[in-house]
Structure 1
Amino acid sequence: MSQGAGGGRILVVGDVMTDIIVKPEGPLVRGSDRRASIRSRPGGSGANQAVWLGAMGTRVSFVARVGAADKPHLEAYFKGFCVDPVLVADALLPSGMLVTIVDPDGERSFLTDRGANLALSPSDMPVWLLDDTSMVLVSGYSYFADGPRRAVHCLTEEARRRGIPLAVDAASAGFLAEVGAADFLAWTGGVDLLLCNGEEAAALSGTGELDAQMRLLGQHFPRVVVKRGALGAALGGRAGVAIDLPAPAVEVVDTTGAGDAFAAAFLSAELAGRPPEACLAAGIAAGSAAVGTLGGQPGQGLIRRAGTAPAARTAPTRS
Structure 2
Amino acid sequence: MSARVLVVGDVMTDVIVMPEGPIVKGSDRRAKVRSRPGGSGANQAVWLGAMQAEVVFAARVGADDLHMYENYFRGLGVIPMLAGDRELPSGVLVTIVDPDGERSFLTDRGANLNLSSADLPGSLLDGIGMVMASGYSFFAPGPRAAVQALFAEARARGIAVAVDPASVGFLVEVGPAAFLDWTAGATAIFSNESEAEALTGVVGYAAQMRALGKRFETVLIKRGALGAAIGGRDGVRVELPAPRVDVVDTTGAGDAFAAGFIAAQLAGADEAGALARGIAAGAKAVQSIGGQPG
Give yes or no for TM over 0.5. Answer: yes
The question of 1:244 aligning with 2:239 is answered yes
- Deviations, residues 228-261 of structure 1 (Å, cap 9, x unaligned): 0000000011011111110011000000001000
Aligned to 2:192: 197
The residue that corresponds to 2:55 in the other structure is 60
Please state how far the C-alpha of 1:287 moved relative to its aligned partner: 0.2
- Look up the equivalent residue of 2:265 and give its one-letter code: E
Partner of 2:117: 122
Could you tell me which residue of structure 2 aligns to residue 98 of structure 1?
A: 93
> How many pairs does the alignment contain?
294
Name the CA distance, whole Å, in 2 between partners of 1:283 and 1:92.
Answer: 37
Pick the aligned partner of 1:81 from 70, 76, 82.
Answer: 76
2:282 equivalent to 1:287: yes
Q: Find the aligned partners of 2:276 and 2:3 in 1 and give their Cα distance.
A: 21
Q: 1:216 aligned to 2:233?
A: no
Letter in 2 for 1:90: D
Identify the residue that residue 264 of structure 2 maps to in structure 1: 269
Aligned-pair distance for 1:180?
0.6
Alignment of 1:19-38 (within 5 A): 19-38=14-33
| 1:17 Cα deviation after fit | 0.2
Partner of 1:306: none
Counterpart-to-counterpart distance in 2, 1:126 and 1:268: 24
Residue 179 (structure 1) aligned with residue 148 (structure 2): no
Identity fraction in percent: 65
Shift of 1:126: 3.1
TM-score by length of 2: 0.99
Give per-residue Cα distances to partners, 1:86-133, cap 9 Å, x unaligned: 110000100000000001011100000000000001111031121210
SS at match of 1:289: helix
Give SS of 2:24's match: coil
CA distance, structure 1, for counterparts of residue 253 and residue 165 of structure 2: 14
- The reply to whether residue 141 of structure 1 matches residue 136 of structure 2 is yes
> What TM-score does the superposition give when structure 1 sets the normalisation length?
0.91
Q: Could you tell me which residue of structure 1 aligns to residue 228 of structure 2? A: 233
TM-aligned CA deviation for residue 199 of structure 1: 0.6
SS in 1 for 2:105: strand
Give the secondary structure class of the aligned counterpart of 1:132. coil
Instruction: Output the amino acid matched with 1:290.
Output: A
Distance 2:36 2:87 in 1: 23
Question: What CA distance in whole angstroms lies between the structure 2 residues aligned with 1:244 and 1:125?
Answer: 35
Paired letter, 2:230: L
How far apart in 2 are the matches of 1:215 and 1:197?
14
Distance in 1 of aligned mates of 2:26 and 2:95: 19
Question: Which is worse superposed, 129-138 or 20-29?
Answer: 129-138
Mapped partners of 1:207, 1:138: distance in 2:
24
Q: Which amino acid aligns with 2:59?
A: A
Q: Secondary structure at the match of 1:109?
A: strand
Q: What amino acid does structure 2 have at the position aligned with 1:75?
A: E
The alignment partner of 2:126 has SS state of: helix
Aligned mates of 1:99, 1:131 — CA distance in 2 = 35
Task: Kindly report the root-mean-square deviation, in angstroms, between the aligned alpha carbons of the 2 structures.
Answer: 0.7
Any runs of at least 4 consecutive aligned residues in structure 1 with deviations exceeding 3 A, and if so which? Answer: none
The answer for the alignment partner of 1:45 in structure 2 is: 40
Superposed, 1:302-317 pairs within 5 Å as none
The Cα offsets for residues 250-305 of structure 1, whole Å up to 9 and x where unpaired, read as: 00000000100000000000001111000000000000011000000001xxxxxx
Q: Distance in 2 between matches of 1:32 and 1:241?
A: 49
Equivalent residue for 2:164?
A: 169
Whole-angstrom CA distance in 1 between matches of 2:199 and 2:206: 14
Could you say which residue in structure 1 is the equivalent of 2:201? 206
Unaligned runs of 5+ in 2: none
**Counterparts of 1:96 and 1:131 in 2: how far apart (Å)?**
28
Q: Give CA-to-partner distance per residue, 1:38-90, whole Å, 9 cap, x none.
A: 00010000000000001110000000010000001110000011100011000
